[in-house]
Amino acid sequence: KTLAFSLLRSGADGSALYRAVVSLFEDAGYGTEPDGFVHSLGHGVGIEVHEAPSLSTRGGPLAAGNVVTIEPGLYYPGIGGVRIEDMALVTDGGYERITRFPEVFCI
Protein backbone atom coordinates (compact mmCIF):
# COMPACT_ATOMS: atom_id res chain seq x y z
CA LYS A 1 0.00 0.00 0.00
CA THR A 2 2.87 2.36 0.73
CA LEU A 3 4.03 2.25 -2.89
CA ALA A 4 0.51 2.75 -4.27
CA PHE A 5 -0.15 5.70 -1.98
CA SER A 6 3.17 7.29 -2.96
CA LEU A 7 2.05 7.29 -6.62
CA LEU A 8 -1.55 8.38 -5.99
CA ARG A 9 -2.39 11.85 -7.36
CA SER A 10 -4.49 13.60 -9.97
CA GLY A 11 -3.26 12.69 -13.46
CA ALA A 12 -1.76 9.35 -12.42
CA ASP A 13 -2.88 6.36 -14.47
CA GLY A 14 -4.61 3.56 -12.56
CA SER A 15 -2.89 0.91 -14.68
CA ALA A 16 0.54 2.40 -13.87
CA LEU A 17 -0.18 2.12 -10.13
CA TYR A 18 -1.35 -1.47 -10.65
CA ARG A 19 1.78 -2.40 -12.65
CA ALA A 20 4.06 -0.82 -10.03
CA VAL A 21 2.53 -2.96 -7.27
CA VAL A 22 2.67 -6.11 -9.43
CA SER A 23 6.38 -5.43 -10.04
CA LEU A 24 6.97 -4.92 -6.31
CA PHE A 25 5.31 -8.26 -5.49
CA GLU A 26 7.21 -10.08 -8.24
CA ASP A 27 10.56 -8.53 -7.23
CA ALA A 28 9.89 -9.71 -3.65
CA GLY A 29 9.35 -13.28 -4.91
CA TYR A 30 5.56 -13.39 -4.76
CA GLY A 31 3.81 -14.92 -7.75
CA THR A 32 1.07 -12.75 -9.18
CA GLU A 33 -0.69 -14.81 -11.87
CA PRO A 34 -2.60 -17.10 -11.99
CA ASP A 35 -2.28 -17.27 -8.20
CA GLY A 36 -1.26 -14.43 -5.93
CA PHE A 37 -2.26 -10.91 -6.92
CA VAL A 38 -5.35 -11.87 -8.89
CA HIS A 39 -7.54 -8.84 -8.28
CA SER A 40 -7.14 -5.19 -9.08
CA LEU A 41 -5.21 -2.82 -6.83
CA GLY A 42 -8.37 -0.81 -6.22
CA HIS A 43 -11.36 0.98 -7.66
CA GLY A 44 -13.39 4.12 -7.44
CA VAL A 45 -16.10 4.56 -4.80
CA GLY A 46 -19.09 6.83 -5.23
CA ILE A 47 -22.73 6.09 -5.85
CA GLU A 48 -21.69 2.47 -6.36
CA VAL A 49 -19.20 0.65 -4.14
CA HIS A 50 -17.21 -0.46 -7.24
CA GLU A 51 -16.97 2.09 -10.04
CA ALA A 52 -14.44 3.95 -12.18
CA PRO A 53 -11.65 4.81 -12.03
CA SER A 54 -10.05 1.38 -12.00
CA LEU A 55 -6.65 0.65 -10.52
CA SER A 56 -6.11 -2.40 -12.71
CA THR A 57 -4.89 -3.35 -16.17
CA ARG A 58 -7.89 -1.39 -17.52
CA GLY A 59 -6.66 1.68 -15.65
CA GLY A 60 -7.28 5.21 -16.76
CA PRO A 61 -6.46 8.66 -15.47
CA LEU A 62 -7.27 9.65 -11.91
CA ALA A 63 -8.77 13.08 -11.29
CA ALA A 64 -8.85 15.34 -8.25
CA GLY A 65 -12.03 14.54 -6.37
CA ASN A 66 -12.03 10.81 -7.16
CA VAL A 67 -12.43 8.57 -4.13
CA VAL A 68 -10.54 5.31 -4.61
CA THR A 69 -9.59 2.21 -2.67
CA ILE A 70 -6.05 0.92 -2.29
CA GLU A 71 -6.33 -2.79 -1.51
CA PRO A 72 -3.48 -4.97 -2.72
CA GLY A 73 -3.89 -8.61 -1.76
CA LEU A 74 -2.19 -11.93 -2.31
CA TYR A 75 -4.16 -15.20 -2.51
CA TYR A 76 -2.87 -18.75 -2.79
CA PRO A 77 -5.06 -21.89 -3.09
CA GLY A 78 -4.76 -24.14 -0.08
CA ILE A 79 -3.04 -21.42 1.94
CA GLY A 80 -5.33 -18.40 1.99
CA GLY A 81 -4.93 -14.70 1.44
CA VAL A 82 -5.55 -11.25 2.76
CA ARG A 83 -6.68 -7.89 1.46
CA ILE A 84 -6.85 -4.76 3.65
CA GLU A 85 -8.79 -1.93 1.99
CA ASP A 86 -8.09 1.75 2.54
CA MET A 87 -9.88 4.67 0.92
CA ALA A 88 -8.42 7.97 -0.24
CA LEU A 89 -9.54 11.19 -1.88
CA VAL A 90 -7.37 11.97 -4.92
CA THR A 91 -6.01 15.53 -4.89
CA ASP A 92 -3.83 17.56 -7.25
CA GLY A 93 -0.84 17.14 -4.96
CA GLY A 94 -1.45 13.53 -3.92
CA TYR A 95 -4.24 12.23 -1.72
CA GLU A 96 -6.10 12.60 1.53
CA ARG A 97 -6.45 9.31 3.37
CA ILE A 98 -10.02 8.64 4.48
CA THR A 99 -9.44 5.37 6.32
CA ARG A 100 -8.01 5.99 9.79
CA PHE A 101 -7.88 2.47 11.26
CA PRO A 102 -4.55 1.53 12.90
CA GLU A 103 -2.76 -1.30 11.10
CA VAL A 104 -1.89 -3.61 13.97
CA PHE A 105 -2.50 -7.21 12.93
CA CYS A 106 -2.56 -10.29 15.14
CA ILE A 107 -2.17 -13.62 13.40
What are the sequence ranges of the domains in the chain?
Answer: 2-97
The residue among 80, 46, 76 whose CA lies nearest residue 63 is 46
- Strands, sheet with 51-55, edge to edge from the N-terminal-most edge strand: 51-55, 42-44, 67-70, 86-91, 94-97
pLDDT at 3 over 90: yes
Range 56-74 average pLDDT: 93
The CATH class of 2-97 is alpha beta
Q: Residue 13 is which amino acid?
A: D
Please, which pLDDT band fits residue 79 given cuts at 50, 70 and 90? Answer: confident
Residue 50 to residues 19, 39, 40, 43, Cα–Cα distance (Å): 20, 13, 11, 6
| Average pLDDT taken over every residue of the chain | 90
Which band of pLDDT confidence, cut at 50, 70 and 90, is reported for residue 101?
confident
Asked if the model's pLDDT at residue 83 lies above 90, the reply is no
User: For the chain, what's the residue count?
Assistant: 107
The predicted pLDDT at position 102 comes to: 82
